Amino acid sequence: MRDTAGRLLLADTFRATDWGSGYEWFQEHHFKVVGQGYGIYDKIEATGDLGGSGADDFVARDRAGVLWLYKGRGGHSFSARIRIGGGWGGYGRPVGIGDADRDGRPDLYTQGFLYRGTGDYRSPLRPREETSPYHFWPTAVTYDHFA
């Protein structure tokens, strides 16, 4: 998550349960600043280990439509940004959907397109494929469920 000052925050999130009703929810607790200068991006999304570093990564889209990869280094730190490519401004929010195609690598989804992960930070995404989330989930799922 990012605050209005452009700081990247790590939220300690846990599942809470009301044992009387059985209602469950996720609650954020204790925020830690893990970076500064992220106000230049209009979208930031956790992706899992998209770059193959062994730690969780995230992507960020700047206002010019360029998508950047931040490889996780463990211990809540990230590499310098790596340019994935331009032309992402016409999409809604990119969504890290986990391993949608079950090949062992995380994938990225945007409105109507799947980008399969390669596991290689030098070229972390395969060319886009026009698709629908209906291909991955047995229930009625739309882009709005993620974005």
Q: Percent of the chain beyond pLDDT 90? A: 47
Mean pLDDT rounded to a whole number for the chain: 84
* Residue of higher predicted confidence among 31 and 116: 116
**Token reading at 146:** 């993620």
- How far is residue 82 from each of residues 59, 75, 95, 102, 144, measured CA to CA in Å? 9, 19, 18, 25, 28
Residue 72 pairs with which residues in a beta bridge?
78
pLDDT at 23: 76
Q: What average pLDDT does this structure show over 62-79?
A: 92
User: Tens of pLDDT along 98-147?
Assistant: 888 889 999 999 888 899 999 999 999 999 988 865 555 554 445 454 44
- How far is residue 41 from each of residues 62, 105, 127, 135, measured CA to CA in Å? 4, 25, 23, 30
> HSE (CB half, 13 Å, CA atoms) of 122?
0
pLDDT at 87: 94
* Residue of higher predicted confidence among 10 and 51: 51
pTM above 0.75, yes or no: yes
Q: Output the DSSP codes for the chain.
A: -B-TTS-EEEEEEEEEEETTTTEEEEEEEEEEEEES-GGGEEEEEEEESTTSSSS-EEEEEETTS-EEEE-EEETTEEPPPEEEES-GGGSS--EEEE-TTSSSS-EEEETTEEE-B-S-TTS-BPPPEE--GGGT-SS---GGGT-
CB 46 within 8 A of CB 58: yes
